[in-house]
């Protein structure tokens, strides 16, 4: 019988990092590691740049003070439609 705790996570850690870095709002920057476990078995140990929300960006419209280079500059190009 196969070990029930040995579960293969078919997710690329790089994609996971990219997902978190994109989806999570910038606010407080936490650099560290995340261990993803299934059934108490550590499967992935991933270095992350976790950026936790500390402000409402829609309200202020301003990026964090420590990230001036990341201020999005949207292209003025025409849209070509969805």
**Interface residues toward other proteins, by CB under 8 A:** 14-27, 31, 34, 36, 47, 49, 52-53, 56-59, 61-63, 69-72, 74-82
Residue partners of 45: CB distance under 8 A and separation at least 6:
33, 34, 35, 36
Closest distance between other proteins and the C-beta of residue 2, in Å? Answer: 25
Closest distance between other proteins and the C-beta of residue 42, in Å? Answer: 15
Question: Whose Cβ is closer to other proteins: residue 41's or residue 49's?
Answer: 49
Question: Whose Cβ is closer to other proteins: residue 1's or residue 58's?
Answer: 58
CA distance 54 to 35: 23
Whose CA is closest to 24, among 52, 62, 56? 52
Say how many Å lie between the first and final Cα of the chain, rounded. Answer: 50
Question: Whose Cβ is closer to other proteins: residue 1's or residue 23's?
Answer: 23
């Amino acid at each position: 019988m196969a070990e029930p705790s040995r579960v293969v996570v078919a997710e690329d850690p790089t994609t996971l990092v990219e997902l978190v870095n994109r989806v999570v709002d910038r606010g407080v920057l936490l650099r560290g590691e995340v261990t993803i476990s299934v059934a108490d078995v550590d499967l992935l140990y991933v270095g992350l740049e976790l950026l936790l929300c500390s402000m409402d960006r829609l309200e202020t419209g301003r990026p964090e003070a420590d990230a001036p280079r990341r201020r999005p500059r949207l292209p003025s190009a025409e849209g070509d439609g969805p």
